[in-house]
Amino acid sequence: EAQVTQNPRYLITVTGKKLTVTCSQNMNHEYMSWYRQDPGLGLRQIYYSMNVEVTDKGDVPEGYKVSRKEKRNFPLILESPSPNQTSLYFCASSTVRGGGYGYTFGSGTRLTVV
């Protein structure tokens, strides 16, 4: 089944403790992206990647890191999480730079930083 797999689904952590949210897709998509979703603000893009070793900032990259060492994986790293990073996170992938076929989204990761 074609899918984007995110882990974990739920995570509660403490301020300053490094964490990684994993994202993997099995569709051979070139383009992958991370979004956070907050009430009233919609989905905001954190980082995106157009292919292996090619990443770029979205609209809200502060406090996040990403890497794209393999085509299928695009982990999101929070080096020192803070409470304002409490949010619902989605990983998404697509072919053709997100045009035409749209994104396939992962199931989401609900992160709480206390």
Partner 1 sequence: GQNIDQPTEMTATEGAIVQINCTYQTSGFNGLFWYQQHAGEAPTFLSYNVLDGLEEKGRFSSFLSRSKGYSYLLLKELQMKDSASYLCAVSRNTGGFKTIFGAGTRLFVKA
Q: Which residues bind partner 1 (CB under 8 A)?
A: 31, 33, 35, 40-45, 48, 50, 56, 58-59, 90, 97-108
| Total Cβ atoms within 10 A of residue 53 | 10
For strands 4-7 and 19-25, give the pairing: antiparallel
Taking the least distance from each CB to partner 1, the nearer of 105 and 112 is 105
Min dist CB 100 to partner 1, Å, is: 6
Q: How far is the CB of 65 from partner 1 (least distance, A)?
A: 18
How many CB atoms are closer than 10 A to CB 47? 23
CB of 101 to partner 1, least distance (A): 7
CA 20 to chain centre: 10
